[in-house]
A and B are shown apart, each in its own frame.
Chain A
Amino acid sequence: MGQLWDGFVEAIRLIFTLDSTVLEITFRTVLVSGTATLLAMAVGVPLGYALARGRFRGRNIALGLVYTGMGFPPVVVGLFVWLMLVRSGPLGDLELIYTRQAMVIAQFVISVPLVIGFTAASIQSLPPRLGDLLASLGAGRIRTLVYLAREARLGLLAAVMAGFGAVISEVGASQTVGGNLEGETRVLTTAIVLATSRGQNEQAIALGVILLSLALAVNLLLTFVQQRPR
């Protein structure tokens, strides 16, 4: 209990003294996970819409694959991305392994099925004729997507929360493709693992408190947007 309390005290000290290392790791964490989530939204929302509304052969198989992807272990995703990006791999010439970009790619792969799945489910929960109504009123594809996204915003913001929550808290993929390089690819989760392995429990707890606070702040913000009365 004393160790936990010491961890909290250390966390408060690190935060309020604006510890440069902690700030840098926190900023990098937000940057990597935020970028991955934004990219996942850009790709996942239209794909989720297409899966929800489209009538094409193999749609159910595609949905099944997406739902399987929603539960994919991050460390396996990390391994897959590592095999692609490692110098001897098919994309090795891009020299992305052990960079922030590699971490963004891995986190994108982790979050995109979540965004697609939540988007598809939220669009499918809308009245089935809503798209037809908008089309019959003369709304083009983009405007129809905007109106439907507005209608499905509860589910879409849940998609953001799920996507961001999954990547900001994962450690396996970031460790595998980022390498936890100090000043380069170290993020909160990999820093916690390192601190724990070195026996720096107070620091690990402090970083854990910061990570939880960060996730809580982002999710509270999104929840307020989501639950705003219409």
Chain B
Amino acid sequence: MNTLMDFLAKSLAIAEMELRKLFRDPMELFSRAVQPVLWLAIFGQVFSQVRGIPTGNVSYLAFMTPGILAQSVLFTAIFYGIAVIWERDLGVIHKLLVSPSPRGALVFGKAIASGARGLVQAVIIYLIAFAMHISIRTDPLAIVGVLACVVLGSAVFSTFSLIIACIVKTRERFMGIGQVLTMPLFFASNAIYPLTLMPDWLRAVARANPLTYLVDALRMLMIEGGQGTHSLVVSFSVLGGVFVVFVVVAARLYPTLIE
């Protein structure tokens, strides 16, 4: 119990400082809002004229709104790891690792901060959706569910990003890999088209992609009449399981950043 409290206290200490830095310079938060606006207002408006995409009983625009929220979570979180490369070059990581903090707490704290940052993105997408009169579920339980998804999704992808950073160790390589990963993760998911439209091989990839489960859960929780391929239990279990594995791996790799 004591160990657990210690773990949480130290994770929160890391998360608190990350968030203080973020809100001290919120420019990045606002610039992150631009892309989803473009996707929904331009791409979404045009593609909702296309009748060939089977979206069940919801409009295409409503169908893609949770997908764009998931995308915005992914695109932000996937570059989170670059910060640790900075911190490594500055010697900050050395100091953290010399402290008697569990390695897992150092990693988990960053995931919490990334999760909290995802909440801001959720608010932005809700605002856009309201402005565009997309039929959004407003019952508190659904909203809480969406926020929980977003926190978990951000945590998953930011920890994934941290793992990449620990492996590649330099900014240049990291940016290259980040660029290479984002689009395939996005397109090989059900974010803007349903799994049923995909060729078999792509569907197989999409089923192994955590983003698919994030989109699935968000689609059920966020929009009126939204349907998912999997149940919420399955989606949350997959995301939660992936997160635990990622944290364990990242905690093992984190100390190798400075060797």
Our verdict on whether A and B bind, yes or no, reads no
- B: which residues have CB within 8 A of A? none
- A: which residues have CB within 8 A of B? none
